[in-house]
Chain A
């Protein structure tokens, strides 16, 4: 399993340099250009990196790694798991990175204690949740239909997911989300966060299992 994950890490470093550069650029712009960038830096890294696991499957098919790895001492469950695990690792790193950039931004522009700072962190959290949910839908599709057909289905699903993201952003920008968040007691916010994490984790685990069942039946 370690070998599979190491291969994924090498692949992310090699194939997704442009993503890393884009996220770095947006972070730099957010910090040095000024206020008004908080929302963008909050959701952009999570969303752009949500496509990495699906693209990794596409690269594996192109390089014929999927077939080659099946000749090695790995189970089909481990091969599927490598994509889900790298998806979680990427989202964890991106979430921490976005939070870090926003803390710096808040210090520079003295918004650390303001309501908008809370809103931004809520958006980072929700973006991560949506990115993980998007992966939960994309991965079984590409394992089932391959990357060509699977991507078409994924494009359709992407539209729906990013529509949801835009809805959330607009809601927060209009102050609806913020108001509802502020109006809630601290304890109910914590309950909402934990419930969201639990539901997302449940959907991700279900998707992981479905992908395994699909991949187990597939002949390589």
Chain B
């Protein structure tokens, strides 16, 4: 079963549109939704959660269609948005009391175990929490009702590196269970690179790429070469090139590079930046090329 299956999703606003989004997340996997600010990550997540109306396409979440009454689906999903919207005076006790009357499978013992684990003060009000603590509280809630899937929208943005690393660890712990899946959106690509099995690049409301991370990293590479060497590579294999006084730096498809030219591995972040720059430089022709 797929944890998430989106087919041809479209959604238009006055100045922005999601166009023909299709992606599939198998159960037990983590998918990273990467994109610049305004690329459509949050809109996609809102459509998945039924919080925004769609103009076309279909969404299946944990095998059930996202439509109408979503209470049953939401019992199985833990959501952390860029801001955890708890009343500012809430303490852990308030949260527990409200959530145990909200989720059928609320696990009080697990919630307080996570509070201790994340070193969240029991009697402090939510307004006194740091941003990192607020995010941890959101994750503790998302993980305390036996959810099968986590959906996190920019949950690590604005956090210091230590807090971000802790959040990444928490998500890793959740996905140790083979039945647990996660969809995580962020523009901090390094976090997603540590976690994800699948990577989706969103740019200007479109899916640039949806691929297994390992396959992606095996497919693309970086070369540092001269102009002459670059001419030996098929133009279709060159995704983007950057010229400077030391020579040429190019993102390429490894399979088309002659054996004598050494190819360095590339990070997901570099790949994303290069692809976005290419779209910025060349426009729709390259875009079509990248989209295959």
Contacts and interface: CB of A to CB of B under 8 A. Distances in A.
B51 A219 contact: yes
Contacts of A7: 87, 98
Given A7-B87, A68-B85, A74 B71 contact: yes
Given A3-B99, A6-B98, A71 B49 contact: yes
Interface string A1-45: 011101100110011000000000000000000000000000000
Contacts of A6: 97-98, 101
A75 B52 CA distance: 14
Contacts, number: 74
B163 to A, nearest CB: 20
Nearest to B47: A219
Nearest to A78: B71
B74 interface: yes
Nearest to B45: A71
A217 B52 CA distance: 9
A66 B52 CA distance: 14
A73 interface: yes
Nearest to A219: B52
B46 A68 contact: no
Interface in B78-131: 79, 81, 83-90, 94, 97-104
A149 interface: no
B53 interface: yes
A174 interface: no
Contact of A66 (B46, B69, B85, B101): B85
Interface in A146-186: none
A11 to B, nearest CB: 6
Nearest to A2: B101
Contacts of B282: none
A70 B49 contact: yes
A7 B90 CA distance: 9
B211 to A, nearest CB: 28
Interface stretch (A57-65, A83-91, A99-107, A192-200): A57-65
Chain A contact surface mostly? helix
A191 interface: no
A220 B51 contact: yes
B232 to A, nearest CB: 52
A10 B94 contact: yes
A64 B52 contact: no
B102 A67 contact: no
B51 A65 contact: no
Nearest to A65: B85
Nearest to A56: B87
A219 B83 contact: no
Nearest to B69: A75
Contacts of B101: 2-3, 6
B85 A72 contact: no
A63 B87 contact: yes
A81 interface: no
A181 to B, nearest CB: 44
B102 A74 contact: yes
Given A3-B101, A71-B77, A220-B52, 12 more contacts: A3-B98, A3-B99, A4-B102, A7-B98, A59-B87, A64-B81, A67-B81, A68-B81, A70-B49, A73-B75, A73-B104, A219-B46
19 contacts: A2-B102, A3-B100, A6-B101, A7-B87, A7-B98, A14-B87, A14-B89, A15-B89, A63-B85, A63-B87, A65-B86, A65-B87, A70-B49, A71-B49, A71-B74, A72-B102, A73-B104, A75-B71, A219-B53
Interface of A: 2-4, 6-7, 10-11, 14-15, 59, 63-75, 217, 219-220
* The 4 residue pairs across chains A and B that have the minimum distance between CB atoms: A68-B85, A64-B85, A3-B102, A3-B101
